[in-house]
């Protein structure tokens, strides 16, 4: 058994709350997904400023890692997971033209600070954009970005709507079509901090995690493609090491697992070659197709 209450008595949903009520068929109509890993690096990015190590000076493009974010295309719909400091360049690189919603994993700089670069997505379509997150994440973003999320937003601020979630939800289209996309938050621990991973269809994205509470595994059944935090070979207090991530990946049992959030301790070619079958290092721009639930 695991306990899921945060230290210090902070109230928040438990993993049991988050997975309870999940209808196993709720992903049945999810279309094939196209998942693009916009960034795969740790919070500094790689190369690290001022560092002349072999990875930071590598001319292998796989060794250049921007901050973690992910874009999921489901039919016409486009869903973003996090808006880090590299979001604008990532969106330009990948030609992202549509965002229906953002799912935030947690409030750390490397996952949120590109938020303001969502503004151009309202130039032709003023419809509100829901931003889904854990209550603790919402509390920080509401405080830090009062000019966006406050009662009296700055003129021209992104028309984002902060949506605190404690269980499965369905993303509506914000364009002229009738698409919807069911998404399950997956409660994780990043050190002591609660973080949300997200599941849609047979895809799960779990970054910034050092422990998965036992009940959260229930939301990770029958995953085809898993994206998982694996910081570096050496242990770390708030991220999975490679060995820990391999164990977790085997337990979840996805057909293919991709590691993200790597530091400059990780040289792509060598580290990737050493991983077991079914597990690979992701790299910026990697695009993966996830089959529809019904197709399997």
Q: Which residues bind Zn ion (CB under 5 A)?
A: 48, 51, 53, 56, 110, 208, 264
Nearer to Zn ion, 110 or 284 (CB): 110
Dist. CA 202–CA 30, nearest whole Å: 9
Nearer to Zn ion, 100 or 110 (CB): 110
Shortest Å distance, C-beta 187 to Zn ion = 17
Dist. CA 290–CA 263, nearest whole Å: 27
Dist. CA 2–CA 60, nearest whole Å: 42
CB 141 within 8 A of CB 149: yes
Dist. CA 249–CA 243, nearest whole Å: 10
Burial grade of 144 (CB within 10 A; 0-12, 13-18, 19 or more): middle
Dist. CA 93–CA 102, nearest whole Å: 19
Shortest Å distance, C-beta 39 to Zn ion = 10
Shortest Å distance, C-beta 50 to Zn ion = 9
CB 110 within 8 A of CB 80: no
Which residues lie across from 184 on neighbouring strands?
A: 199
Q: Which of 280, 288, 233 is nearest to 55 (CA)?
A: 233
Shortest Å distance, C-beta 293 to Zn ion = 29
CB 45 within 8 A of CB 260: no
Nearer to Zn ion, 65 or 202 (CB): 65
Shortest Å distance, C-beta 52 to Zn ion = 7
Nearer to Zn ion, 53 or 127 (CB): 53
Nearer to Zn ion, 185 or 201 (CB): 185
Nearer to Zn ion, 49 or 295 (CB): 49
Q: Which of 240, 166, 236, 161 is nearest to 196 (CA)?
A: 166
Shortest Å distance, C-beta 128 to Zn ion = 27
Nearer to Zn ion, 30 or 210 (CB): 210
Nearer to Zn ion, 27 or 65 (CB): 65
Cis peptide before 47 (omega within 30 of 0): yes
**Count, residues in the chain:** 296
Shortest Å distance, C-beta 283 to Zn ion = 17
Angle at 195 between CA 184 and CA 21, to 5 degrees: 30
Shortest Å distance, C-beta 93 to Zn ion = 20
SS3 content of the chain, % helix, strand, coil (to 5): 25, 25, 50
């Amino acid at each position: 058994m695991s306990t899921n209450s945060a230290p210090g008595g902070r109230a928040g949903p438990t993993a049991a709350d988050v997975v309870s009520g999940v209808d196993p068929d709720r992903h049945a109509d999810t279309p094939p997904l196209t998942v693009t890993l916009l960034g795969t690096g740790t919070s500094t990015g790689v190369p690290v400023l001022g560092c002349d190590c072999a990875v930071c000076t590598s001319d292998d493009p796989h060794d250049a890692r921007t901050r973690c974010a992910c874009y999921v295309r489901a039919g016409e719909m486009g869903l973003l997971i996090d808006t880090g400091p590299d979001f604008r360049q990532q969106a330009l690189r990948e030609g992202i033209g549509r965002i229906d919603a953002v799912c935030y994993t947690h409030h750390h700089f490397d996952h949120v600070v590109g938020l303001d670069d969502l503004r151009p997505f309202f130039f032709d379509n003023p419809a509100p954009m829901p931003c889904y997150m854990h209550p603790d994440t919402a509390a920080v973003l509401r405080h830090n970005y009062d000019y966006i999320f406050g009662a009296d937003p700055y003129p021209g601020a992104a028309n984002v709507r902060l949506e605190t979630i404690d269980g499965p939800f369905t993303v509506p289209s914000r364009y002229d079509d009738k698409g919807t996309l069911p998404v399950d938050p997956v409660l994780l621990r990043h050190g002591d901090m609660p973080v949300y991973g997200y599941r849609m269809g047979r895809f799960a994205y779990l970054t910034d995690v050092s422990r998965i509470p036992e009940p959260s595994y229930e939301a990770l059944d029958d995953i085809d493609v898993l994206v998982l935090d694996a910081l570096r070979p050496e242990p770390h207090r708030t991220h999975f090491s490679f060995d820990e991530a391999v164990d977790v990946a085997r337990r979840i049992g996805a057909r293919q697992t991709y590691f993200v959030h790597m530091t400059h301790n990780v040289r792509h070619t060598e580290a990737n070659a050493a991983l077991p079958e079914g597990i690979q290092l992701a790299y910026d721009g990697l695009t993966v197709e996830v089959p529809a639930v019904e197709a399997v």
